Amino acid sequence: MPSESASERRLASSGEASPAPLLVTLAWRNLWRHTRRTLVMLFALLLGVWSMIVMAALVRGSMEQHIRKEILNLTAHVQIHSPAYRDDPAVEHRFAAPSSLADALTQTPITAASARVRVPAVVSSEYESAGVMLVGIDPQRERGLSFIDKAVKLGRDLESAGDPGLVLGRKLAERLETGLGRRVVLMSQGVDNQISDRGFRVVGVFDADPQAMETGYVFIGLEIAQQLLGMGNEVSEIAVMTDDRNHLDALVERLRATAPGLDVAPWTDVQPLLVLMEKVNNVVLLVWFAVVFAAMAFGLINTLLMAVFERTREFGLFQALGMPPRFILGQVLAESLILLVLALILGNVVAWASVAGLKGGIDLSMFAEGLQLVGISPVIFPTLATGDVLIANVVVIVLGVLASLYPAWRASRYVPVEALTRT
Amino acid sequence: MRTFSLLLVLLISPLATAQEAAPVNATALVKAAIEYWRDVSSMAVFEMNIHRPDWQRSMTMKVWTRGNKESLVRVLAPAKDAGNGTLLLDNDMWSYNPKINRVIKIPSSMMNQSWMGSDFSNNDLAKADDLIDQYRHTLLATETHNGHKLYVIEAVPNETAPVVWGREVVKIRDDHILIEHAFYDQSNVLVKQLATTEVKMMGGKMVASRERMQRIDKPDEWTDIVTREAQFGLKLPASTFTLANLRNPRN
């Protein structure tokens, strides 16, 4: 390679000049001495980076969907209860909202807040009866707070807190052999410990996901529920929705101060399983990153070792001409760095493109039943999270360079005479 | 309570039969029938035969009632069930089992379940009186039954009544004996039926002494109730209808 030997001569003579541009040039040219090998390596790295980012996007997407769905499924961002209610959601554990709370619930960042009666009940038709959660809602205020205002697919929504009708889930309607326009009987325990019951006409049938929502909940007007159970103006819970579910601490503190004696719980307390799932997902992603990276690293080290080994004589010559070993180290590292950076750029672009291409969601409805069991919805919308992309990139570049230290160190440790005489 | 009372108290009223009021008030007929079979108070021994395709079992029970709100049932035989009791006060129901020595309040979730494995639900017992004030009654027809006039009355539950049926049809004889009680679902399909097959003089009045409750979709399953003896208008102490008496029988 005439051009290279020319550079070396220049290096030997120029002395003080920074070696970086030279090393990079050398590394770049060395890479393309074996175009096919480099391309294969590049492709392997690219695939690894792509899989890390796309996998993360899928996991995040499905998690985000799951959390949003659960929050709409009557969880909301913050719930206010009487202290014992969450352990035993019975009618005894009711409370009257203090008037100061009403003001606090209209302030930012609260976007919606509504009181509910939520107690266990039995709903029966002529043929069957089923245990359900009876939810008394104020339909106007429930808007944007839970799924129910958009979920009624047959018949109509409840219209007001005094609406005498009842809305139940499609699956429950099937199970009870009842339907729109027919009457069912709700039975529950009233405040006086007596059985409260009343007939209701089914005015709406809703669809929900997961199906347990369809079989587990019936909705009636809040005022009707209070009348039925003899609760007066008292309620079981107040649900609060804000504009940002991740920063609730200040709000929770404020509500606790406004309503001392009541249990103010953010969704992370109400649904600890969701938080746990998120943590598990983080670990799964990290494990995935580690596995993919380990595979990539072995390929990378192997390729670099090959490259170093076949250039033994060359490195001997560099040293004989006066190149310090650290430059040789730098040269191999630069080679690996260029490869990694190229792979990262391409990998990120391809990953972004494939996530963008899947914006419409990945339809897994053929496995819907199995997925429902684990709480994943049949259509996954991948979501790119900056954090994950950053971690993937940092993992690849930092660990990649660390992994290439070994071949680079090997290259820099040759004894010039031995290296030159090796055949 | 309907069942107990039915088997206990369906009465004859020789005076009433003679009078033919021109417009018949259906609600009044139902009310009269129910008040008749409840009487002021009663005590009766009856047998309950539960029939299923592959098994059958029979229990003998004793029942006390007072007014419209209070009833107590105690199982006398077979020995393995003896001592089991049910106390009804208005709409509330308690059950006692001597083997576990516990009184259990029947929760609302269990009110639709079967009473002692029979074709009667707990609600059938607890809510019999609702037939008067939770329904609108219409006289559908007048038939004759063993020489008696038989009023066919349709009872449609009020909109908010805690009743699952679409309508019920009761046939009441002019001597206030309920001959048939049919339950229709909201598509007007007959679901179950209580029929009186024997009327006897007992404790000084005519009583529906043999009744059968049957679900129409299960023709080989039914529960028969046969009244063995009955007394009416007794002076029963208030202490009869208490949880203490349910647990520790004093009579």
Residue of B164, B183, B216, B218 to mutate, testing the A interface (most A Cβ within 10 Å of its Cβ): B164
Residues of B in contact with A129 (CB under 8 A): 109, 112
Contact at CB, B158 and A199, closer than 8 angstroms: yes
**Residue among B109, B163, B183 whose CB faces A185 most closely:** B163
Q: Are residues A10 and A157 in the same domain?
A: no
- The rounded percent of chain A whose pLDDT value lies above 90 is 39
pLDDT digits over A338-390, tens only?
999 999 999 999 999 998 888 777 777 766 666 666 666 667 788 888 888 99
Q: Is the ipTM of this complex over 0.85?
A: no
Angle among Cα B156, B162, B164 to the nearest 5 degrees reads 60
Torsions phi, psi of B159, nearest 5?
A: -55, -45
CB within 8 Å: B111 and A122: yes
Under 8 Å between Cβ of A172 and A158: no
Strand partners, B45: B62, B229
What torsion, rounded to 10 degrees, do the Cα atoms A327, A332, A335, A339 define? -140
| Residue among B91, B163, B183 whose CB faces A199 most closely | B163
Among A194, A222, A244, the domain boundary falls at A244
- With beta carbons under 8 A apart, name residues in chain A contacting B161: 198-199
Those residues whose C-beta lies under 8 Å from the C-beta of residue A80, and which sit 6 or more positions away, are A97, A101, A237, A238, A239, A240, A255, A259, A262, A263, A264, A265
A250 belongs to a structural domain: no
User: What 3-state DSSP class applies to B185?
Assistant: coil
Burial of A378 (0-12, 13-18, 19+ CB in 10 A): middle
Domain count, chain A: 2
List residues in chain A touching B: CB distance below 8 A. Answer: 120-122, 124-127, 129, 131, 164, 178, 182-189, 194-201
Residue B77: φ, ψ to 5° = -150, 155
Same domain, yes or no, for A138 and A158?
Answer: yes
A270 domain-assigned? no
Give yes or no: residues A238 and A96 share one domain: yes
Domain-embedded: residue A358: yes
A98 in the same domain as A196: yes
Based on the fold, state whether residues A54 and A91 are members of the same structural domain: no
Domain extent for A284: 2-68+275-421
CA B119 vs CA A15, A352, A409, B16: distances in Å: 105, 65, 88, 33
Same domain, A211 and A157: yes
- The residue of B69, B112, B163 whose CB has the most chain A CBs within 10 angstroms, and thus the best one to mutate to test that interface, is B112
- The pLDDT of residue A167 is 94
Measure A207 CA to nearest chain B CA, in Å: 23
Q: What is the pLDDT of residue A385?
A: 84
User: CA B31, B179, B48 angle in degrees (round to 5)?
Assistant: 105
Give the DSSP H/E element, type plus range, for residue A309.
helix A272-310
Do A124 and B165 make contact, defined as CB atoms within 8 angstroms?
no
Three state DSSP letters for A398-418: HHHHHHHHHHHHHHHCCCHHH
The Cα A28–Cα A36 span in angstroms is 14
Residues A116 and A186 both lie in one domain: yes
Tens-place pLDDT, residues B64-120: 988 888 899 999 988 888 889 999 888 788 999 988 888 988 877 777 788 888 888
- Domain encompassing residue B161: 2-247
As given in the structure block, the two tokens for residue B234 are: 């007794």
pLDDT value of residue A175: 93
Residues of A in contact with B160 (CB under 8 A): 164, 198-200
**Residues on chain B touching A119 (C-beta within 8 angstroms):** none
Query: What SS3 class is residue A59?
Result: helix
**CB < 8 Å to A126, chain B:** 164-166, 183, 185-186, 191
Same domain, A55 and A113: no
Spatial contact of A238 and A255, defined as CB atoms under 8 Å apart: no
For residue A190, what is the nearest residue in chain B, using CA coordinates?
A: B108
Do B62 and B81 touch, CB atoms closer than 8 A? Answer: no
Question: What's the mean pLDDT in A195-223?
Answer: 90
Q: Which residue of A has its CA nearest to B110?
A: A122
Tell me how far apart the alpha carbons of residues A135 and A221 are, in angstroms, rounded to a whole number: 8
At residue B11 the predicted structure's pLDDT band, cuts being 50, 70 and 90, is: very low
Least confident of A115-124, A323-332, A371-380, B155-164: A371-380
Query: Which domain CATH number covers B83?
Result: 2.50.20.10
Domain check: are A142 and A175 in the same one?
Answer: yes
Rounded CA separation B85/B245 (Å): 10
Residues A103 and A225 in one domain: yes
- Element housing A317 (H / E): helix A312-320
Q: Residue A195 is which amino acid?
A: I
CA angle A232/A237/A240 to nearest 5° reads 130
My answer on whether A238 and A282 are in the same domain is no
Mean pLDDT calculated for residue range B200-214: 89
Same structural domain for residues A54 and A118? Answer: no
Task: Please check whether residue A258 lies inside any domain of the structure.
Answer: no
A131-151 residue pLDDT tens? 999 999 999 988 888 888 888
Letter for the amino acid at B13? Answer: S
| Domain-embedded: residue A115 | yes
Domain boundary among A244, A262, A294: A244
Q: Is B155 on the interface with A (CB under 8 A)?
A: no
Q: Which of A244, A265, A284 is the last residue of a domain?
A: A244
Query: Per DSSP, which regions of A211-266 are E strands?
Result: 217-221, 237-242, 263-266
